[in-house]
């Protein structure tokens, strides 16, 4: 396990800021992330077939593999806004480029919030003016401007002798594998080419954000961007960099899961002894997406029937109940085709914690996968029933 810095900090050459530009009644709603040097860059976006205007524009911008800045607004997602929405997305990048004195083709934009509402781009254009003078090295300052239903700003850093890697992220609901309703930005001063960064990013995302689920809904705005400005200069061991990158993505994934809308605990679904990784991921996602597994965890109910149901609904002919071993928070609850004689009261107390780990041994092979999620509570219903949608 890698140790994360106690206080997150932007890597050398990177700065950020946020402010309220009038989209929200209160709280920051506009963020800016900047590299003093043009950075190598890569990005992945939502697979939703109704992508937001910033995603449409971002897919074009990232083709160059170069970025110098990211501009983000919250409260309005600029989704379902037609060609005018795309034009307004580009106006965001143009305004940020003017403020930062860089090329607008090297500024990528993101928006998050309600759908089918015109982006108040004039407020963004006015709000960006003067932000350059507010840029600082604290990533939590930038993180505040990208939040929607998040309960706190999220940023982490991991450093070594050669470079620093920092992740800023947001996301609470409309989160399902295929990424999430999340915006995640990875910044590093490591010297990594755009090609290598793209490869590292995709591996990291598949191990982390693509294994995250809060409510099975795939957002229209998902974006993960990585920028490497190379100011650390020292050569990078790509395998070691991949390991640190993936570890940081997993840590951010856990933070996003813990802060799921209405969530009270993190769920980790660990599938072991699968035939291959594809099979392991199918089972992991089936469990993490199950409302009954989520409510089982919330209610501290060690009901093994929920686990058996979730595995059985995968309709996988390889599944052999006689080989199954089910473990909850280290306690074996099912083996040799029957429920084990475990201390139910003690297990209930164990589940009544901030983290619940469901471990499944399939007995079929050597592959494994882990999914991340949260419990399902009244808070989730309350949050989404009242969420502004017009």
Q: Where are the alpha helices (DSSP H) in the chain?
A: 53-61, 82-100, 121-128, 139-144, 194-207, 238-258, 277-288, 291-298, 304-312, 344-351, 378-385
218 among known catalytic residues: no
Catalytic residue among 46, 166, 181, 253: 181
End-to-end CA distance of the chain: 45
- Whether 148 and 111 have beta carbons less than 8 Å apart is answered as no
Q: How far apart are CA 206 and CA 214, in angstroms?
A: 16
Helix (H, G, I), strand (E, B) or coil at 240: helix
Tokens standing for residue 295: 């409510």
- Whether 17 and 128 have beta carbons less than 8 Å apart is answered as no
User: In what helix (H) or strand (E) does residue 75 lie, and over which residues does it extend?
Assistant: strand 66-76
Which bin fits 178, alpha (ψ -120 to 50), beta or left (φ > 0)? left
Helix (H, G, I), strand (E, B) or coil at 7: coil
Helix (H, G, I), strand (E, B) or coil at 335: strand
User: Which residues are the active-site residues?
Assistant: 181
């Amino acid at each position: 396990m890698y140790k994360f810095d106690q206080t997150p900090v932007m890597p050398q050459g990177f700065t950020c800021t946020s402010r309220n530009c009038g989209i929200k009644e209160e709280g920051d709603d506009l963020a800016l992330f900047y590299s003093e040097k043009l950075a190598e860059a890569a990005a992945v976006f939502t697979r939703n077939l109704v992508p937001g205007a910033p995603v449409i524009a971002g897919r074009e911008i990232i083709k160059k593999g170069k970025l110098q800045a990211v501009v983000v607004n919250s409260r309005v997602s600029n989704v379902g806004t037609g060609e005018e929405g795309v034009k307004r997305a580009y106006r965001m990048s143009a305004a940020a480029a003017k403020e930062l004195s860089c090329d607008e083709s090297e500024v990528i934009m993101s928006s998050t919030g309600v759908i089918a509402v015109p982006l108040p781009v004039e407020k963004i254009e006015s709000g960006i003016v003067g932000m350059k003078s507010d840029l600082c090295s604290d990533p939590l300052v930038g993180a505040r401007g990208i939040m929607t239903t998040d309960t706190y700003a999220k940023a982490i850093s991991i450093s070594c002798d050669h470079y620093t890697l920092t992740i800023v992220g947001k996301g609470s609901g409309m989160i399902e594998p295929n990424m999430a309703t999340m915006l995640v930005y990875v910044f590093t001063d490591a010297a990594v080419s755009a090609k290598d960064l793209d490869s590292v990013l995709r591996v990291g995302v598949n191990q982390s954000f693509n294994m995250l689920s809060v409510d099975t809904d795939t957002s229209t705005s998902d974006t993960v961007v990585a920028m490497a400005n190379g100011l650390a200069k020292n050569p990078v061991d790509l395998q070691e960099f991949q390991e640190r990158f993936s570890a940081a993505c997993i840590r951010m994934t856990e933070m996003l899961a813990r802060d799921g809308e209405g969530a009270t605990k993190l769920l980790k679904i660990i599938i072991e002894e699968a035939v291959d990784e594809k099979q392991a991921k199918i089972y992991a996602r089936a469990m993490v997406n199950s409302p009954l597994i989520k409510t089982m965890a919330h209610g501290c109910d060690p009901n093994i029937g929920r686990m058996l149901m979730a595995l059985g609904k995968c309709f996988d002919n390889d599944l052999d109940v006689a080989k199954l071993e089910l473990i909850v928070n280290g306690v074996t609850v099912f083996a040799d085709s029957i429920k084990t004689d475990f201390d139910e009261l003690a297990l209930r107390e164990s589940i009544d914690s901030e983290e619940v780990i469901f471990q499944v041994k399939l007995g079929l092979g050597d592959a494994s996968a882990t999914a991340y999620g949260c419990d399902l509570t009244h808070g989730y219903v309350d949050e989404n029933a009242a969420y502004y949608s017009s």
